[in-house]
Amino acid sequence: MSLSVVGSIAFDSVRTPFGERERMLGGSAVHFALAASFFTDVHMVGPVGDDFSDEHTELLGSRGIDTADIERVAGGKTFFWQGHYEHDLNVAHTDDTQLGVFADFEPKLCEASRQASTLFLGNIQPDLQREVRSQCTGARFAALDSMNLWIETARDSLVAAIEGVDCVLLNDAEIRMLTNEPNLARAAKALMAMGPSVVVAKRGEYGAALFDSRGFFALPGMPLEEVRDPTGAGDSFAGGFLGYLDGMDSEPGADDLRKAMAYGTVLASFNVEEFGTERVSVLERGEIDARLGELRSMTHLRE
């Protein structure tokens, strides 16, 4: 079993009430891959520029992540995002975005990436997501993330991309916006009617909810007293969620999807404790399972 992810590989400059960092490693594919790497083999797909150093590749390699499909563009600049958060850490304010090498990105997956059993299409332009989906023919389970920008500017392509996946992960507001339906339960049904069998509604500090043909499941976020930087929480969630599912021997059942939601919640909770990848890059598997136990105990309702 293995998992391919395409998404941004970025340098992020982030300021929160708890500190700031300049040009640290980030991007949806990076946060996703680090989280998923605790559960399965991960192939990362995406472009970087000359400014992407061996140190960054080594960090990914140290978690066993295959970086063969990280395309280094000579003379190019790595995707750059600058943003900040006020005391309400649920809202990211974007101060600058420089597409760099992403502007001309044409995905070309190597054979190992094409044959992955699970595929995650991180939040990038939906035409690119569809191109990667068409190359990754071996995936038994494909999922995508997106954002309000693509709902507004590339809706038709996004809907076509959604038709090609089994699972969509979006935040509440995006699910409502995409389906033009203010009631989340109905909106999730409308989204499933487009093709996917599973919809995950990401809810920031309130956790995440799962809708599928069998019904509804929800988990709260971990009640952390230290949250320094929420950047990448959604991608860390997706990495824990899909990483765990990819590690299953057989087609995941209802209990497996719930446990995957729990691993997603746990990985997201570690991600936000420090800036960028600082916490997850030094995380150990034992910490993940200990926190999963805490989450189970925090949500257990006795008969």
Contact present, 29 and 277 (Cβ < 8 Å):
no
Q: How far is Cα of residue 232 from the mean position of the Cα atoms in its chain? A: 7
Q: In what order do the strands lie in the sheet with 118-121?
A: 70-72, 41-48, 2-6, 118-121, 141-145, 167-171, 198-202, 208-212, 215-219
Tell me if 195 sits within 8 A of 162, measured CB to CB.
Answer: yes
Q: Which of 265, 283, 174, 276 is CA-nearest to residue 230?
A: 276
Closest contact distance (angstroms) between CB of 226 and a copy of itself is 8
Between 54 and 180, CB nearer to a copy of itself: 180
CA contacts within 13 A on the Cβ side of 246: 33
Question: Across the strands, what pairs with 201?
Answer: 170, 209
Q: How far is the CB of 157 from a copy of itself (least distance, A)?
A: 26
Adjacent-strand bridge partners of 44: 5
Judged by beta carbon, residue 213 or residue 297, the one nearer a copy of itself is 297
Q: Where do contacts with a copy of itself occur on this chain (CB under 8 A)?
A: 17, 87-89, 182-186, 189, 203, 205-207, 209, 211, 215-220, 223-225, 227, 255, 258-259, 262, 295-303
Q: How far is the CB of 279 from a copy of itself (least distance, A)?
A: 17
In the bound state with a copy of itself, the residue whose beta carbon lies nearer, of 106 and 226, is: 226
φ, ψ dihedrals at 19, nearest 5°: 145, -175
Judged by beta carbon, residue 285 or residue 300, the one nearer a copy of itself is: 300
Shortest Cβ distance from residue 168 to a copy of itself (Å)? 16
Answer for the pair 49, 122: CB distance below 8 angstroms, yes or no. no
Nearer to a copy of itself, 73 or 173 (CB): 173
Tell me the closest approach of the beta carbon of residue 204 to a copy of itself, in angstroms.
Answer: 9
Q: Measured from the CB of residue 254, what is the shortest distance to a copy of itself in angstroms? A: 9
Q: Please, what is the minimum distance in Å from the beta carbon of residue 155 to a copy of itself? A: 19
Based on CB atoms, which residue is closest to a copy of itself, 117 or 265? 265
Closest CA to 174 of 196, 158, 198: 158
Tokens 């995957």 map to which residue? 260
Encoded tokens for 152: 């507004």
Cα 199 to Cα 213: distance, rounded to the nearest angstrom: 10
In this complex, which beta carbon is closest to a copy of itself, that of residue 38 or of residue 211?
211
Residue (93 or 296) nearer to a copy of itself, CB: 296
Q: What is the dihedral of CA 212, 217, 219, 220, to 10 degrees?
A: 100
Q: State the nearest-atom distance from the C-beta of 265 to a copy of itself, in Å.
A: 10
Q: In this structure, what token pair is assigned to residue 167?
A: 């699972």
